[in-house]
Amino acid sequence: MLRAVPDLAGRANYRGRVVANILSENMEPPIWRELAEAVREEIEAGADGVVVMHGTDTMQYSASALSFMLDSPVPIVFTGSQRSADRPSSDNVMNAVCAVEAAKADHAETLVCMHASQSDDACALHRGTRVRKNHTSRRDAFETVGGEPLGRIDYEAAAEAGADGDAADAAIEWNREPLPRGETDLSTATDLDADVELVKFTPGMDPAAWEYLDDKDGVVIEGTGLGHVHTDLIPRIEELVESGTVVAMTSQCLSGRVCDRVYDTGRDLLDAGVVEAGDTLPGTAKVKLLWALANLSDPAEAMGRDLAGELTEESQPWR
């Protein structure tokens, strides 16, 4: 990385390690565990911050996974590149520089650091549990859903920061107060129950298509609107809940929260035992349920409660 991005030289004392060398679409829960353990080991060894270089296709899932598995006293910053280094429009240098400076700054968040716009002026700092890749190829593909990014780092200021930690903080404008550096003790809970599926309801879906869910420990449904599916699927869902499967409801809408108390279908889903996941993003909800089933005594209750910034208490309009 240092040979590929010479601009990183002199910004920090680096220690590097390869956890996995795979295409990000091949990421799996066991590798999330390996990544979390590697990050823990580096922090225990004295790292003041961690930058995770990751493919963009599944970066949001990995950032969510580490958000749940790790309580960290230092920053953990994911970054990647939408366009390869051999293209004139590559975003690799700017994203890497901003990520390193964000990892040196005074906070203890798990973030995704990627281009804030199509220009080379700033990177957005997204909370790991609230970010989504919303475009296949734009450099500013990543967005915080339902609100503003946690912060923004000015590229020119970051580029000038060099080895000066105070300058790294000066380059960042926070939209909300971040978790402070050093106030959280390092702890890990890396167990995951991989027997969880995320299913998307679509009109005309055959209830028989859900038979493969019979032996799952958890199911996250991506429903329509406020959290709905066809009424013919409700008996199938009730069977899953009665068999011990935790079934959580999210929405296909990009913003807003599920509320199954408004219409008859929603109330029937609640009667069937479905748990509302609020405005948790569907992908994040799957990762959360993977973690909650393995680590919490009441994972169903946890799906309706904020654990790592994934669920807001109340959805607010934003500009």
Annotated catalytic residue within 56, 129, 144, 265: 56
Q: Stretch 39-63: mean pLDDT, rounded? A: 97
Minimum mean pLDDT range among 82-96, 178-192, 200-214: 82-96
Domain that holds residue 217: 196-302
* Distance in angstroms (rounded) separating the CA atoms of residues 103 and 297: 33
Question: Would you say 64 and 52 are in contact if contact means Cβ atoms under 8 Å apart?
Answer: no
Percent of the chain's residues with pLDDT above 70: 97
* Distance in angstroms (rounded) separating the CA atoms of residues 53 and 78: 6
117 lies in a domain? Answer: yes
Q: Which residue, of 188, 211, 230, is where some domain finishes?
A: 188
CATH number at residue 25: 3.40.50.1170
Q: Residue 206: its pLDDT value, please?
A: 87
1 lies in a domain? Answer: no
Place of tokens 């590929």: 4
Q: Stretch 195-199: mean pLDDT, rounded? A: 97
**Would you place residue 159 in the very low, low, confident or very high pLDDT band (cuts 50, 70, 90)?**
confident
Residues 228 and 272 in one domain: yes
For 8-30, give the secondary structure using H, E and C. HCCCCCCCCCCCCCCCHHHCCHH
Residues 159 and 251 in one domain: no
Residues 15 and 148 in one domain: yes
For residue 53, CA distances in Å to 140, 204, 227, 306 come to: 17, 40, 35, 27
Q: Which residue, of 129, 163, 188, is where some domain finishes?
A: 188
Q: Dmax of the chain from CA atoms?
A: 62
State the pairing for strand pair 50-53/70-71. unpaired
Q: Which residue, of 169, 188, 207, is where some domain finishes?
A: 188
Q: Which of 282, 276, 281 is CA-nearest to residue 305? A: 276
Please say if the pLDDT value at position 315 is more than 70: no
Please say if the pLDDT value at position 185 is more than 90: yes
Q: Stretch 26-51: mean pLDDT, rounded? A: 97
**Catalytic residue list contains 56:** yes
Residues 87 and 156 in one domain: yes
Q: Stretch 90-99: mean pLDDT, rounded? A: 91
313 lies in a domain? Answer: no
Minimum mean pLDDT range among 186-190, 255-259, 310-314: 310-314
Q: How far apart are the first and last CA of the chain?
A: 38
Q: pTM for the complete prediction?
A: 0.93
Query: For all residues of the chain together, what is the average pLDDT?
Result: 93
Residues 14 and 31 in one domain: yes
State the pairing for strand pair 275-276/70-71. unpaired
Phi-psi map region of 84: left, alpha, beta (phi>0 left; psi -120 to 50 alpha): beta
Please say if the pLDDT value at position 168 is more than 90: no
**Would you place residue 317 in the very low, low, confident or very high pLDDT band (cuts 50, 70, 90)?**
very low
Minimum mean pLDDT range among 82-96, 116-130, 183-197, 271-285: 82-96
Residues 244 and 140 in one domain: no
Residues 40 and 164 in one domain: yes
User: pLDDT (tens digit, 9 = 90+) per residue, 239-294?
Assistant: 999 999 999 999 999 899 998 888 899 999 999 999 999 999 999 999 999 999 99
**Residues 6+ away with beta carbon under 8 Å from 96:** 1, 5, 7, 8, 51, 53, 79
Q: How far is CA 221 from the centre of its chain?
A: 18
Residues 76 and 110 in one domain: yes
